[in-house]
Amino acid sequence: MKEKIESCIRDLLAVLQISRLYTFGHPQVKRSIEKAYASITEIFKERKEFIIGIVSEEIVFEKEIFFSLSKMARPVVIFLKAKGIEKIHFLSGLQQDELEKFISFLLDPEDGARDETIEDYLSRMGVKNILVGKIKMIQGEDKVWDAVTRLSLYEDSLRKVDASVNAVINEDDLDHLTLRYTLKEVMEKLIGQYQEFLDFATVKKYDTRTFSHILNVCILAMYFSSKLGLDKEGVLEIGKAAIFHDIGKIYISRKLIRKESVLSDEEFAKIKNHAVLGAEILLNYSDKLGILPAVVSFEHHMKYNLSGYPKLSFPYKPHLASLIVAICDVYDALSQRRGYKRSYPPELVYEIMMKEKGVAFEPNLLDRFFELIGVWPVGARVKLNDGRIAVVKEINSDEIFYPKVEIQLNTEGAKQLVDLKAEKDRLKIESSLF
């Protein structure tokens, strides 16, 4: 269904883009409207209505946020918002001429001089199956509410993480109470929905390789810790350590690499050992942060068998928090979508990390991690060995390769929940789908 919705939105955006290049009666415009209407009609085979929302400058459908579409169609998104349109609601009785009238009004250069609103115009023109307006930020009153609040909370958390990390890097006063409150909100509202936040790594105004990664690792580490049985205070402490685990690397990228002058020997040594640098920086804030963030910064690249760095010349056992953060750090780095590469499919992430079992990662912790997260996380779209497409709905901790999935049976929207563990002799996941 997600693919159909995305295709439909793409066709609707194409109508607006093409209509701004040609006159409204041009054959190209007519063909684009026919294609968009056909896409909408396909959606109505499975549901009686659907709503497209615009949150900030992102295109939203229920819980889905289409970052790539939003980026591609940013001028159209800005155009719609300038018209006061944050939500377009299509009903199943929609006729093609209603869609044409709606597009015609949007593209009318005189519409700003009209006395009537777009709602009044649509009503006067007999358009009953397209409703427009603004998003109501009240739970239950809008079907895009969940996506709005999740994105808003994630962005707000990013801002606060940004402020806390920058305070430490710049040796400023750290607002520990705000950081603690942010982590408490993350613990209560975001952990357990980790997979949904992977797509938020492209939120604008942030370096997607730093702050979104930091917050993702924090969310995942807190989720993992809570499932391991740690109490709320312990979960918060691990979340705090996860926020600052890469502070040495960030300091180097901000303070040293951007220097115009030649690096000194001391500065070059810091680059080679950013884990130690991070610990040194965080020790200056131990009165507010405690000692654990410095410990995790020092240890998170050390590896379980101590083959990583910094190198030690004596027996040593990394802290549990460091072992947890190390797993979450690598998992997110492999899973997170980057601008310069596609993310690894979940099954490959699993294979890569399991090769490091007992080397980089504590064996029991790594097994437990995938028992909770699964090879294919909840929400992942997968292809089964019989060719059908399914969505992972629940992890079977004792059979992580055989989760419970929801299979779409036909074009009428009928679905079936199947426990692959019970069907493992004949049915299994063949691959993930992007």
Question: Where do the domains of the chain lie?
Answer: 2-133, 145-335, 381-432
Query: In the CATH scheme, what architecture does the domain 145-335 have?
Result: Orthogonal Bundle (1.10)
Kindly give the confidence (pLDDT) of every residue in the chain, 434 residues in length, as a single tens digit, with 9 standing for 90 and above. 667 788 888 888 888 778 767 777 788 888 888 898 898 888 888 888 888 878 766 787 766 667 667 677 777 777 787 777 888 888 888 888 888 888 887 776 555 445 667 777 788 888 888 888 776 543 444 444 455 566 666 777 777 878 888 888 888 888 888 888 888 877 776 565 555 554 444 344 344 455 678 888 888 898 899 889 998 889 999 999 998 998 888 887 776 555 555 656 766 666 667 888 889 999 998 988 999 999 999 999 889 988 888 888 788 889 999 999 999 999 988 887 544 345 678 888 899 999 999 999 999 999 999 998 888 888 778 888 888 888 888 888 888 889 888 886 655 556 788 888 888 888 888 887 75
User: Which sign, positive or negative, has the C-alpha torsion 239, 243, 246, 251?
Assistant: negative
3-state secondary structure (DSSP) of residue 228: coil
Give the closest residue to 428 by CA, choosing from 378, 392, 379, 397: 392
The burial of 166, by beta-carbon neighbours within 10 Å (0-12 exposed, 13-18 middle, 19 or more buried), is given as middle
Any bridge partners for residue 419, and if so which?
404
Among 247, 326, 318, 250, which residue's Cα sits nearest to residue 289? 247
| CA distance linking residue 329 with residue 421, whole number of Å | 29
Residue 173 CB neighbour total at 10 angstroms: 9
